[in-house]
Amino acid sequence: MSREKPPVPKPVFNESGLEIKPLYTPADVEASGGNDKIGLPGQYPFTRGIHPLMYRQRPWTMRQYAGFGSPHETNKRFKYLIANGQTGLNVAFDLPTQIGLDSSDPVAAGEVGRVGMAVDTLRDLEIAFEGIDLEQVTVSLTVNGSAATLIAMYLELARKRGYDIRSLRGTAQNDILKEFIGRGTWVYPVQPSIRLVADTIEFCAHEAPKYSPVSVCGYHIRESGADPVQEMAYAFCIAKVYADEVIARGLSVDEFAGRLSYNFNIFGNIFEQVCKFRAGRSLWAKIMREQYDAQKSTSMWLRMIAGGGGSGLTKEQPELNIVRGAYYALIGALSGAQTMALCSYDEAYTIPTEYSARISLRTMQLLTAEMGLCDTVDPLAGSYYVETLTSQMREQMEKVMREIDAQGGIVKLISEGIIQSQLSAQAYERRRQIESGEFAKVGTNCFQIDEEEQEVALHPYSDEDALAQIAATVQVCAERDNKQVAAALAEVSAAAAGDINVMPAISKAVSSYATVGEITAKLSDVFGCYQEPIRF
């Protein structure tokens, strides 16, 4: 009598294209590179974390993304979050602010305050941060195309309030290369845009050495269609461009690298995400030590905020996003992130309510207070699966970076639209897989419920608030010293046209209450505006 052979399990691959075995043993760890690259927390290559005790000493910073409407409304939301235990602020700006337009610009019509806070002058930041201690609550500015102006505004705000900006901590997103890949809030062509990022890094290295003037964003690259390996590899290639530009100006890597930071995405397979970050930490340390001859440990740290995966959320059965968010927060904690921003359950389709933002905040607080995530460092270390996958993903990241260099480098590929075209194709393919059911999305293409489309509450847009913002800016412009503004703007033009850092001139302009649009116009007159390459 013959026995039927048991069915051979179908191969399983993660999003990064690596085949996942049904069983891992010590032999797999050895075959993937052994234990040499694991190390101890706080020691090179920092696979297990950049600090020796990690959360046992200090939990991650909780920095929810927030901001909408006017500076007054945003100030209320900031204070609400702080009162509920949030330990950092992550500022959302509206689209006109992000691309350097004043609220009164006709192009801004209908967008003023819609997806973030409207900021036209320094007065708006003064209102938004009224009553908030900038030394007790660190602030991240999520802005890119107009980042130089907003960084200058924030530092001038701190100066006016009596803070020593040499000890001021905070972060600006300011990663313009990923804007060309993904989000699209660029203003100037590629090379002048890189120059502005380098200007901010150089300026802060001298004037605000504890401030982080750029947060390189794998997050948005992932949202644009990249897999987890590409997310990290592209981000590292971009960070190297900024580092090379600053070093070419005469700064040593140890003068600025310790203030570079990263913003990464979280959604998908728990183990793949955790290994992505563990692999990325050791690879970045290797790059800094071996390619840049960094001497300080802080220059080798992968300092990062882990964001709770916007693309992972769904409009269908939105309450499921609360569960997803809890897993995303768990991934961030297991990954050793220094800061966490967890998307709220309604963020897939609207600006979060106070209620939904509080649930996300409480989710992170549950992990610190009840679930034991702060008890020990890197609790998944030593798993045959985790250590093997970490090594494999690190190897794949290095492979992708070599391929980019062989094709002429990340700047060339972005300038010619090649990266954008590749990721668009990948995003299209993933959408096709979701629609066909090949890629499971609970509530969207599987485990659906038969009912009428659920009504969801959308954040209302107020034309009256937009008009009030415009009127407030008109009043500021009427009250300021316009001769002083004109002189400051002339200095911005001269600095942009010359071979000097533009940040001192921009700082002078914002302190005289020049508008974001006025400063952007002066820079655009010199740099021009970016024309996006179209590829099919």
The helix or strand, by DSSP H or E, that contains position 83, with its residue range, turns out to be helix 71-83
Q: From CA 536, how far away is CA 522, in angstroms rounded?
A: 34
Topology (CATH) of 23-436: TIM Barrel (3.20.20)
Residue whose pair of structure tokens reads 């006109």 in the numeric block: 96
pLDDT at 9: 77
pLDDT of residue 8: 73
Q: At 155, give phi and psi (nearest 5°).
A: -65, -35
- pLDDT attached to residue 453: 60
Q: CA 371 → CA 125, 309, 358, 381, 458, distances in Å?
A: 37, 21, 18, 18, 33
* Residue ranges covered by each domain of the chain: 23-436
SS3 content of the chain, % helix, strand, coil (to 5): 50, 10, 40
pLDDT of res. 2: 56
Which residues are CB-neighbours of 259 under 8 A, at least 6 positions away? Answer: 201, 204, 205, 209, 210, 211, 212, 213
Other Cβ atoms within 10 Å of 47 Cβ, number: 27
10-residue mean pLDDT series, the chain (536 residues): 70 95 96 88 97 96 91 95 94 96 96 95 98 95 97 98 97 97 94 98 98 97 96 98 98 97 95 98 98 98 90 91 95 96 91 93 96 96 97 98 98 96 94 93 90 70 92 97 98 97 98 98 97 75
- State how far the Cα of 525 lies from the Cα of 528, in Å rounded to an integer: 6
3-state secondary structure of 286: helix
pLDDT at 487: 98
User: Residue 363 carries which side chain, given as an amino acid letter?
Assistant: T
